Chains A and B, each alone.
Chain A
Amino acid sequence: MNLPCIVTALPAESRPFFEHFKLQGRELNGLQLYSCERCLLLQTGVGKLAAASKMAALLQECPDITGVVNIGIAGADAPIGTQLVAGCVEDAGSGKRWFPHLPPLRALPDLKSVVVQTHDKPETQYKNGIAFDMEAAGIFSAARGKLDSSSVQCIKVVSDNHSSLVSAIDKSQVFNWMASCIPVVDIMIDLMADPIRDQVRQVDEFTESAAQKVHFTVTQLHQLHRMTTQHLTLCSSLPTLYGSDAKSILQRLKDELAATPLSYTNPMVKDA
C-alpha cells in the first residue's frame, strides 16, 4: 500500500475527507481504515496513547505508507477557523520535540507555522505561537521512527481560544473547518509522492522474479538489485539476464555495465 495516510482523531474530523476522496471503509486487523486510489485515512480516537498505538499498528500492517498528514482541531491564541501548520510538535509531558520539514511556502502560503503541543487533557492557557492538541505527539512518536521529516506533517484548525471555549465546539463547525482544509491536504498528499518510487518498485519486482528462477545468495541478490538499478538508469531498460547460475549472470551483467558508455554530449552546447 504505497500511499500517504491522513490521520484524524474524531469521526467529525474525518467526514469531509470521506466525501472528497471517495474513501471506502475496511477493517485491517482491528484497525478501522479507509482508502481510495490516492490515500488512506486512519481514525485514531482521542488522546496521545490511542493515536500512537493506532499509528504504530497501521505502520506495522502497511510498512509501505509513504507519508502521514495529521489533521485536526486545536486550541490557540488565534481566530477560530485559522489553519496552522506545525513547525514543531512537542509532547508536553516528556518535552520530546519533532521538527517536520515543511512544504514550500508557495504551496501553502496562508498557513502560519506554530508549535503544536500535545497535552493529555484539554489545555486552555492559550499562548502566542502555540496550538494545543491531544494527538499529534502520539502520531509523530510512532510515525517518525519509520518515515522521514518531510513525510510526517501536521495541520490544525483553531477550534477554541480565549473568547470561544472548548465546550462551545460543535460537530457541524468541525465539519466545515476540516472541509476548508481539503485543498491543503490535497497539496500535502501530492508533495509526499516519492520521485523514485516507480524505479525502486520496478527493480524490486525484477529481482524478486529473477530469484524465483535462479538461486541467489543474499549478497548476490543485493548485487543483482544494484546492477539492475544501474542498468535501468544507464540504458533506460531492465537488463536481460544471460547465464544459468547466479555467478555467471552477475558477471555478464557487470561486463555489460562496464561496456556501457556514459555520454555527456548535449546538442545544446556548441563546440567553441
Chain B
Amino acid sequence: MDTIYIEEQISEHPRTLAILKRYPKARLVSIDRYNEVFNNASQNFRKQKQNPALILAKKEGERVLPTPDQYHIGGQHNYYFSHMLNCIYDCRYCFLQGMYRSANYVVFVNYEDFFADIETITAQHKKPSWYFSGYDCDSLALEPITQFVEQCLDAFSEIPQAWLELRTKSTQIRPLLNREAIDNCVVAFSLSPEEIVQAEEHKTASLEKRINALQQLQAHGWKIGLRFDPLIQASEFERLYGRMFEQVLSAIDIEAVHSVSLGPFRLPRDFHKKMIKLYPDSKLLSAQLEYNGTHVSYPESTEKAMIDWCEATLLSRISSEQYFPCVSS
C-alpha cells in the first residue's frame, strides 16, 4: 500500500496500528470520515485501480443487511456484511466498478461490532440464519493484512445457529488450514474457465490454483461451495465451461460439496453505463448486452441457453439438493 488514509477516531485502534506496522513506508493521511475520500464525486476508478490506497475506518450504522431475495443457498434468513469495500482483484465484470466512485480499499477495523450485530440478528430467528461475506469484496484476498476471517471464524464458532459463507477467488487459505474446520461455514470459490480467468479476472488465482485450494480445504474438513458466477458468453462457451466443470468436479469429492450455484452476468443499468465509460476497450463489456428493466444482461435467449446447458451438465454430476440456480451478485 502506497497511501493509507486513517480516520482520526480509529487512529490508535490496535488493528490500525498492526496494519500500519506492515507498511512503514506508506504515506499516511489523516481524515475525519472515510466517505470524504471514498465517496468524493471527482474520482476515476480505472486510474485509481493502478495503485489503490487503503482507507482505515470505523463502520457506523447498519453493518449487517438482508440480501436480495434470490441470493441464498437454501437458508431462510439471509444477510450480508462487508468488513471491507472493494477488492484487490480486477475482474472486468465486477459490479463494484460501477457501484463505487473510488477503487481505494476501505477496511473497517471494528470487527467486534459486526460480530455483535450477527449475534443479535441470529437470536431474533428460530431457524438458522446465513451471513454472506465477500459481497462487496473478496472474503480472503486481503486476509494477510486484515486477519478478519480468522477472527470471524472464532466468532461464528460461538454462534452455531449462524452460518457463514466466505466467497473468494483467492488462495489465501492458510488461516483456514491452520485451524479445525467449523460446521457452520462454507468456503465458496467463484470459478471460471482458465481462458476467462486470464482475460477478464485480472490478478486472481488461476483456475488450477483455485481447484488446488478447494482440494486442500476439503481434505481439511471444510465445507466447500462452487460458484459458477457470472457465466460469461463466448463463442466456444460449451467447450470452455464443459472442460472447466470436468476439471473441477473430477478433482474434488462431489458428494461432500455443500452447494453449487450458477449466476448469470447481470449489472444494474447505471453501473453498466459507468463501466463502459471507464472501460470502452473491454471486450466483455462491448459484447451484445440488452437493457432489461433496471438491469443489463445478455439477450434472454442467450442467457437461457447458457444456464440450461450448464444446469444440465452439472445435474448429471451433482444432486439437485446441492444445486442453487441463481445466486446472482
- By a beta-carbon cutoff of 8 Å, the part of chain A in contact with chain B is 85, 87-88, 97, 99, 101-106, 112-113, 115, 144-145, 147-151, 195-196, 199-200, 203, 226, 229-230, 233-234, 257-258, 261-266, 268-269, 271-272
On whether the beta carbons of B286 and A99 are closer than 8 Å, the reply is: no
Complex Cα distance, B27 from A112, in Å, reads: 7
The distance in angstroms between the C-alpha atoms of A203 and B280, with both chains bound, is: 10
Q: A-B contact count, CB below 8 Å?
A: 116
Q: State which of B2, B233, B236 has its C-beta within 8 Å of the C-beta of A102.
A: B2
* A257 to B, closest residue via Cβ: B288
B104 CB to nearest chain A CB (Å): 8
How far, in whole Å, are A263 and B287 apart by their CA atoms in the complex?
Answer: 11
- Please name the residue on chain B nearest to A270 by beta carbon: B194
- Check A99 against B5 for contact (C-beta < 8 Å): yes
Interface string of B176-198 (1 = CB under 8 A from A): 00000000000000000111101
B42 touches A149 (CB 8 A): yes
- What residues of chain B have their CB less than 8 Å away from a CB belonging to chain A? 2-3, 5, 25-31, 36-37, 40, 42-44, 46-48, 50-51, 53, 104, 193-196, 198-199, 232-236, 240, 243, 246-247, 276, 279-284, 286-288
**For B3, what are the chain A residues with a Cβ–Cβ distance below 8 Å?**
87, 101-102, 105, 113
A99-B36, A102-B2, A229-B286 known; A144-B198 Cβ under 8 A: no
Closest 7 CB pairs of A and B: A261-B235, A113-B27, A105-B2, A87-B29, A264-B195, A148-B44, A150-B47
Chain B residues with CB under 8 A of A87? 3, 27-29
User: Does A105 contact B196, Cβ atoms closer than 8 Å?
Assistant: no
Q: Decide if A271 touches B195 in the complex (CB within 8 Å).
A: no
Most B Cβ at <10 Å: residue of A104, A144, A148: A148
Could you say which residues of chain A place their CB within 8 Å of the CB of B243? 271-272
In the complex, what residues of B have CB within 8 A of residue A115's CB?
29
A144 with B42, Cβ < 8 A, contacts A113-B3, A234-B283, A266-B198 known: yes
CB pair A151 B44 closer than 8 Å: yes
Query: B286 contacts A230, CB within 8 Å?
Result: yes
Decide if A263 touches B288 in the complex (CB within 8 Å): no
Query: Of the candidates A106, A112, A144, A233, which one forms a contact with B282 in the assembled complex, judged by CB atoms under 8 Å apart?
Result: A233
Bound together, the chains give a CA A147 to CA B5 distance in angstroms of: 21
Give A75 to B47 CA distance when docked, in angstroms. Answer: 31
Q: Which of B193, B240, B243 has the most CB of A within 10 A?
A: B240
- Beyond A101-B53, A150-B43, A272-B246, list 5 extra A-B contacts (CB 8 Å): A85-B27, A101-B3, A112-B27, A263-B235, A266-B195
- Asked whether, in the complex, the Cβ of A196 is within 8 Å of the Cβ of B280, the reply is yes
Expressed in whole angstroms, the minimum distance between the Cβ of B237 and any Cβ of chain A is 9
**Residues in chain B near residue A266, CB distance under 8 A:** 194-195, 198-199
A264 and B27 form a contact (CB under 8 A): no
Chain B residues whose CB sits within 8 angstroms of the CB of A269 once the complex forms: 194-195, 198
